């Protein structure tokens, strides 16, 4: 972006007003274009965050599948226990043997339960840790990028405000110089007219004051 702009001189001094207005409009368009680009980058960051959220959803589905597997193992254990109870009811004479079998079956079932519970807890903990890590990383990256974009946007806005202030100051100074030089010119014309009035043979009314 070029800031070294030469304005044409106008009148008794200062800059051409139209040149200054054109320059301000050009700088405003460039800043608006930059803001649009920054907004586009912010939208892209939002899209990346949405993709990461989809990955988190997939991880949660895997977690649900692990919980379903745990439920199937529990149902198998309950079915095995029911089978043992039915055999005990049908063969009272083999009560002792079946009691030992029941104890053995219960031991195996408990092992299955313990193993399944441990495995499910490990899968659950791992899935939760991975999901939390992915979400935390995504939020950190999105916040960092959005923060950077916001800083750039604020910087551009500050630069535009400073440029507008500087241009306004230049216009004000040019107006003051023009007003001062116009006053000097009118004073000099009055002095010349007074000198001419003192000369014989000249008509004072022939020297008219120029329009301002």
Q: Summarize pLDDT for 139-153 with one digit per residue, the tens.
A: 888 888 888 888 888
Residue 145 lies in a domain: yes
Structural domain span for residue 146: 17-197
pLDDT surpasses 70 at 62: yes
Q: Residue 188 pLDDT > 70, yes or no?
A: yes
Q: Which one is predicted more confidently, 73 or 189?
A: 189
Task: Grade residue 201 by pLDDT with cuts at 50, 70 and 90.
Answer: low
Q: What pLDDT is stored for residue 45 in this prediction?
A: 82
Q: Which of 41, 29, 47, 2 is nearest to 152 (CA)?
A: 41
Does pLDDT of 44 surpass 70?
yes
User: What average pLDDT does this structure show over 167-171?
Assistant: 89
Assess if residue 190 is contained within a domain.
Answer: yes
Distance, CA of 119 to CA of 128 (rounded, Å):
14
Number of domains in the chain: 1
Looking at the predicted structure, is the pLDDT value of residue 116 above 70?
A: yes
What's the whole-number mean pLDDT along residues 182-187? 89
Lookup: tokens for 210: 């120029």
How many Å apart are CA 88 and CA 67, to the nearest integer?
A: 32
Rounded CA separation 112/91 (Å)? 26
In a domain, 208, yes or no: no
Where residue 56 sits, what CATH number does that domain have? 1.10.287
Evaluate whether residue 189 is within a structural domain: yes
């Amino acid at each position: 972006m070029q800031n070294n702009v030469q304005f044409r001189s106008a009148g008794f001094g200062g800059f051409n007003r139209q040149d200054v207005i054109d320059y301000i409009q050009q700088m405003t368009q460039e800043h608006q274009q930059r803001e649009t680009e920054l907004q586009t980058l912010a939208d892209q960051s939002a899209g990346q965050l949405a993709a990461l959220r989809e990955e988190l959803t997939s991880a949660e589905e895997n977690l649900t599948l692990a919980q379903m597997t745990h439920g199937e193992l529990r149902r198998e254990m309950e079915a095995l226990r029911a089978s043992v109870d039915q055999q005990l009811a049908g063969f009272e004479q083999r009560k002792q043997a079946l009691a030992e079998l029941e104890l053995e079956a219960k031991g195996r079932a408990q092992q299955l339960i313990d193993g399944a519970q441990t495995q499910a807890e490990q899968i659950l903990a791992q899935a939760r840790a991975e999901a939390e890590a992915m979400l935390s990383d995504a939020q950190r990256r999105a916040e960092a990028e959005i923060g950077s974009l916001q800083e750039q946007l604020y910087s551009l806005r500050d630069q535009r405000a400073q440029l507008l202030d500087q241009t306004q100051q230049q216009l004000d100074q040019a107006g003051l110089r023009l007003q001062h030089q116009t006053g000097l010119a009118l004073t000099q014309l009055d002095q010349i007219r007074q000198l001419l009035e003192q000369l014989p043979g000249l008509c004072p009314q022939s020297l008219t004051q120029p329009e301002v």
